[in-house]
Chain A
Amino acid sequence: MSEANYPDDLRYHDQHDWVRLEGDEHAFFGITWYAQDSLGEVVFYDPPELGATIDKDASYAEVESVKAVSDVIAPMSGEIVEVNDVLEDAPETINGDPYGEGWLVKVRLTAPREAEGLLDAGEYRKLLEG
């Protein structure tokens, strides 16, 4: 994805992660266009274990480019119910399609109200400009 893009239907965390809510109890997480652009081409994704509990604002995974390693911060708390295993052989999908095929984990939310504290697309764009 060559142009900066921040879909309006997502919620954003200031550590450059996005949330797509699925119903009341589930969500998909990933990293934003800005994050993948800063990192460069992703060569490796180190996912959490299925069933692992993750806490909002804490690191739950790592994404690596050739010259850098980035912690991925959990935008909300929950339990990992699915890991995107496409990324094992094709981690660069995160660069090409960070919001679609490049999703990182699916989570069963333990505190859905945390979504209220997240930024919307406009607020996130403002954060990047600032």
Chain B
Amino acid sequence: MNAMTETPMQRERARTIYEKSKPSRRAAVLPDAGVPERPLEELIPANLLRAEPPRLPEIAEPEIVRHYNRLSRRNFDLDSGFYPLGSCTMKHNPRLNERVAALPGHARLHPAQDPRRAQGALELMWLLQQSLSEICGLPHVSLQPSAGSHGELAGLLLTRAFHADRGETRTKVLAPDTSHGTNPASVTMAGYEVVKVATDERGGVEMDDLRAKIDADPDQVACLMLTNPNTLGLFDQSIAEIARLIHEAGGTLYYDGANLNAVMGQSRPGDMGFDIVHLNLHKSFSQPHGGGGPGAGPIAVSERIAPFLPRPQVVRRESDNGGGPSFDLDFERPKSIGRLRGFQGNFGVFVRSYAYILSLGADGLAEASETAVLNANYLKARLSEGRAGERLPVAFDRHCMHEFVLSGKPMKRELGLATLDLAKRLLDFGFHPPTVYFPLLVEEALMVEPTETETKESLDAFADAVEKILAEAETDPEIAKSAPYTTPVRRLDEVKATRRPVVRQPL
């Protein structure tokens, strides 16, 4: 790369908003206090007052707008291109949802407003709960958790309360070696010990290992955490037997809902035997990912787990004087595990997801899953042809569901290209790469989830790009190894960032 071949964005060096500040520039015009003013020290003791104001930016409004607009263009985003990240379900985020979430009745409603004057909000939450309950096949829902891993923690705390209520103390939670990192992290935060369960050659739970792990200490097995389809995109056909084994041992069965997009309207975790399910509203239910949140991780539970749900619960009450039903926050829950966060949860996310569910309806949700599965299988078929078929074989040779995993092992051995290099070269072709190096079970893994949003042309374009990159690597593997070339910055020194972390602008 030299001055002749730099892109304009590469030429533009990163400057933080602090570096663009000039003393006493400002954007905000604030109202006058409009009241008789008293010296601060009279109102608050001097030793509690701040001497120097924080060194925030000093910058005019047009410069703020330019700064963040230009910054935004240094981002790739879903509205601009394909994002086949496995288990992230990067589906289209409808702008209608933003419009309704911005309605003042929703957006300017204080969480501590009297429930009698927040009936629209509470009814919306109740309707969303009912919808999620039907989709999951479990009767009771709490919308409180703020994200999937928050839901996982909730599920494990519910499990703990459930066992304690029966006078039992159990210490172990089982999870497959292919599980998402949040699963074992949540297990530890909930005070349990992780026990790993092996995966068989068909990509499902290795049943003998599961039996062995349970039999080693059945009274200590609190829970088994699974997702189905699993992180390999495959439906575990032993699920009924798995449920039976865990329930027989007295444990709960937990469903990580990250892969729900494969089965909406087709199969339901409640029917599979799961006791507790978390859903990711920022995955299957179109909440925009926001560069890392916000999301929401509501949980659905079976009857026997319901008494332990977080407090407060949104409930519907029939009128006793002939009027319509009303909605309320129920705090009278003596067996509840308590609160997991402030107020009621990420209501703005509920508005968007509810609008999505209304828009799609029963027919649309089922169609979304069908199309997601079709798209994944089509892309897998395209990538099983040509060079991709040879260098990036699919890890498990069966029809997948909404996602599939390829292995870059032959590519590495024969071309010297790691999965990472393929991913970086894809950036030059205008695609966000699939998830890389997960699950850990597959060497040089590439996990691909196209979602129902993509057209056939979009999928073909991706497959064509992969083919081109592999062809290029046969002649000159060094190209991919030094990729990307056209992004705002090129490969970054992560070692430097971590060895001597610089996590703020020095001022």
Contacts and interface: CB of A to CB of B under 8 A. Distances in A.
A–B touch (CB < 8 A): the answer is yes
Interface of A: 41, 43-44, 65-67, 91-92
B50 interface: no
Contacts of B437: 67
Interface in B482-507: 494-495, 497-499
B416 to A, nearest CB: 16
15 contacts: A41-B495, A43-B495, A43-B498, A43-B499, A44-B498, A44-B499, A65-B495, A66-B494, A66-B495, A66-B497, A66-B498, A67-B437, A67-B494, A91-B499, A92-B499
Nearest to B497: A66
Nearest to A41: B495
A62 to B, nearest CB: 14
Interface of B: 437, 494-495, 497-499
B143 to A, nearest CB: 35
A5 B494 CA distance: 27
A26 B344 CA distance: 60
A108 to B, nearest CB: 31
A90 B494 CA distance: 16
A91 B496 CA distance: 12
B153 to A, nearest CB: 22
B474 to A, nearest CB: 27
Contacts of B498: 43-44, 66
Contacts of B495: 41, 43, 65-66
Contacts of A44: 498-499
Contacts of B494: 66-67
Contacts of A67: 437, 494
Given A43-B499, A66-B497, 13 more contacts: A41-B495, A43-B495, A43-B498, A44-B498, A44-B499, A65-B495, A66-B494, A66-B495, A66-B498, A67-B437, A67-B494, A91-B499, A92-B499
A33 B211 CA distance: 39
B452 to A, nearest CB: 32
A114 B497 CA distance: 41
Nearest to B499: A43
Nearest to A66: B494
Contacts of A92: 499
Contacts of A91: 499
A44 B495 CA distance: 10
Contacts of A41: 495
Question: What 4 A-B pairs have minimum CB-CB distances, sorted nearest first?
Answer: A66-B494, A43-B499, A43-B498, A41-B495
A64 to B, nearest CB: 8
B433 to A, nearest CB: 16
A92 B496 CA distance: 11
B405 to A, nearest CB: 19
A91 B499 CA distance: 9
Nearest to B498: A43
Contacts of A66: 494-495, 497-498
A59 to B, nearest CB: 15
A16 to B, nearest CB: 18
Contacts of A43: 495, 498-499
A94 to B, nearest CB: 13
A43 B498 CA distance: 7
A67 B419 CA distance: 14
A27 to B, nearest CB: 29
A67 B420 CA distance: 12
Contacts of B497: 66
Nearest to A90: B499
By CB atoms of chain B within 10 A, which of A66, A91, A92 has the most?
A66
Nearest to B494: A66
A92 B495 CA distance: 10
A41 B499 CA distance: 10
A56 B370 CA distance: 54
A68 B347 CA distance: 36
A91 B497 CA distance: 14
A58 B499 CA distance: 27
A66 B494 CA distance: 7
B114 to A, nearest CB: 50
By CB atoms of chain B within 10 A, which of A41, A43, A91, A92 has the most?
A43
By CB atoms of chain A within 10 A, which of B437, B497, B498 has the most?
B498
A67 B494 CA distance: 9
A45 B402 CA distance: 40
